Amino acid sequence: MAAKAPHGEGLLLMPERRTERGWKAMNERLREPHTVCWKLEDPESALAPVSASDRQALAEAAELLRRGETVAFPTETVYGLGANAQSTEAVQRIFAAKGRPSDNPLIVHIADRSALEGLVTEVPPAAAALMDAYWPGPLTVVLPLRGGAVSPRVSAGLDTVGIRMPDHPVALALLTAAGCPVAAPSANRSGRPSPTTAAHVLDDLAGAVGGVLDGGAAGVGLESTVIQVLDDGKVAVLRPGGITAEQLAAVVGADAVLPPAPPVDFTAPADAVKPPASGDDAAGPDAARTDAGGSGPAPRAPGMKYAHYAPRGELRIVRASSPQAAAKAAAGLLAEAAARGETTGLLLFEEHVPLYPAGAAACTVSLGPLAGLEAAARTLYAALRRFDEAGATYILAEACPEEGLGAAVMNRLLKAAAGRVIEAGR
């Protein structure tokens, strides 16, 4: 029998076997505000599952995708919220669940590079070389879209589409079993920190999505790097992520890599969302190309527009000429905030803990060593959610050098802070 799980109201654990009666029962539950959750016993063996319950879970999740429902699943970066990219009705469920602005395109996930032929018209040589080097992996490549290959909602009406092949056994197994290209942004409410565990997904989306495949914590922790090869052969980084600029340069040459523009649009996604159209207008490319105000082109890739990743409290970044100057300024601001009744939070690097007075903030979270930013990338979103759990209303975060993974970490922090930076000790 299905049973309520401890995560919260409406979460249903699936029985190991599924009869025709069971499928009918699941369909009935999906008409109610419930989310089906499968806890995989051995995620690492998902491509050739030994466990009968894992095989059944993957089959059921793939069936939901084929039926036009949404399923959250783990990737090596963050958890994604997937839907059949060829179905406008299915893709609209992503936008509705997330509260996502309609001009924000989605990334299409595939399990086999051969799927590109049916989705795009061309793969430039530089893009092919980068795929050879980093697929499967945290690299999304924006390519010319083949007409009618996916729903116009996926591309936001653009003539390009971002595609990636994730490097996670559960994701690859699900994509293979579903047999369709799967559009999948991060599985969180738009503007919130991205989810790196199934529990994070359920915190934001329980009752709003069809199912969640729990395959444990994501490894990289930050979304994929998004690139586009321009007409002159240069590689434009549209969003920094798990593949660094240095790694891209190792394949195509340093002179061929164009750095991302700094984020400038910090509109809250909730302020940009307008009610979805119905009927034929819902899929119209002209309606999808602009933001809620009806002006401005759709961004070429996710993460280029709107505030993202934000905790509920107000976040600011502290940047200074030295760690000591940053700590002195932050400690003073936190003390002032506490005196006026704020619940304070501090996000810092492990080496700098001794620079702060004891109890500098009500909630202090370390991102690990500044010398090894892999830990910061992996734990950033969980750290931001920790502040929510603590009820923090005023949060300060240390800046880090924008080199290597630091470029992606600072990109996410700037978006989470809506561009608010305190320059101290300069």
- DSSP string across 152-218: HHHHTT-SEEEEE----HHHHHHHHHHTS-EE--BSS-TTSPPPSSHHHHHHHHTTTSSEEEE----
CATH architecture of 314-424: 3-Layer(aba) Sandwich (3.40)
As a whole number, the mean pLDDT across the chain is 87
* pLDDT tens string 376-389: 999 999 999 999 99
- pLDDT, residue 333, reads 98
- What is the rounded CA–CA span in Å between residue 34 and residue 54? 21
Return the pLDDT at 102: 86
* pLDDT score of 261: 81
pLDDT at residue 285, rounded to an integer? 35
Q: Which two tokens stand for residue 392?
A: 């923090």
Does residue 305 carry a pLDDT above 60? no
Q: For position 247, what pLDDT does the model report? A: 98
Percent of the chain with pLDDT over 90: 77
The maximal CA–CA distance of the chain, rounded, in angstroms, is: 69
Predicted confidence (pLDDT) at residue 306 exceeds the cutoff of 60: no
List residues forming the annotated binding site.
77, 100, 104, 109, 160, 164, 184, 186, 194, 224, 239, 309
Q: Does residue 289 carry a pLDDT above 50?
A: no
What integer is the mean pLDDT of 134-139? 98
Contact present, 190 and 270 (Cβ < 8 Å): yes
Q: Which residues lie below 8 Å from residue 275, measured CB to CB, with a gap of 6+? A: none
Residue 167 has which token pair? 């490097």
Decide if pLDDT at 129 tops 80: yes
pLDDT value at residue 262: 79
Cα dihedral 396/399/405/407 (nearest 10): 110
**Residues annotated in a binding site for L-threonine:** 77, 109, 164, 184, 224
Measured at the CA of 101, the angle between CA 272 and CA 109, to 5 degrees, comes to: 160
Rounded to an integer, what distance in angstroms lies between the CA atom of residue 382 and that of residue 320? 25
What's the whole-number mean pLDDT along residues 114-139?
Answer: 98
* CATH annotation of 3-214: 3.90.870.10
Answer whether residue 7 shows pLDDT above 70: no
Q: Look at residues 152, 170, 112 and name the one whose alpha carbon lies nearest to residue 136.
A: 112
Contacts (Cβ under 8 Å, ≥6 apart) of 250: 133
Known binding-site residue numbers for ATP: 100, 104, 160, 186, 194, 239, 309
What would the mean pLDDT of 195-214 be, rounded to a whole number?
Answer: 96
Check residue 295 and give its pLDDT: 45
Domains of the chain, by residue range, sit at 3-214, 314-424
What region, left, alpha or beta, does residue 210 occupy, with left being phi > 0 and alpha being psi -120 to 50 degrees? alpha
In this structure, the number of other CB atoms found within 10 A of the CB of residue 50 comes to: 9
Strand partners, 263: none
Query: Which of 212-226, 245-259, 294-308, 371-385 shows the lowest mean pLDDT across its residues?
Result: 294-308
At 290-302, the pLDDT tens digits run 333 334 556 666 6
Position 19 scores a pLDDT of 46
- Asked whether residue 155 carries a pLDDT value surpassing 50, the answer given is yes
Query: How many Cβ atoms are within 10 Å of 32's Cβ, its own excluded?
Result: 9
With b for 16 or more beta-carbon neighbours within 10 A and e for fewer, the 369-390 pattern comes to ebeebebbbbbbbbbbbbbbeb
Between residues 396 and 101, which one has the greater pLDDT? Answer: 396
Q: Residue 183's beta-bridge partner residues? A: 83, 108
Q: What is the pTM of this model?
A: 0.85
Which pLDDT value is given to residue 304?
59
Return the number of other C-beta atoms located less than 10 Å from residue 257's C-beta.
Answer: 21
DSSP 3-state assignment of 257? strand
Among 2-11, 52-61, 238-247, name the one with the lowest average pLDDT: 2-11
At 16, the pLDDT band (50, 70, 90 cuts) reads very low
| 278-282 average pLDDT score | 38
Degrees to nearest 5, angle at CA 323 with 322 and 328: 100
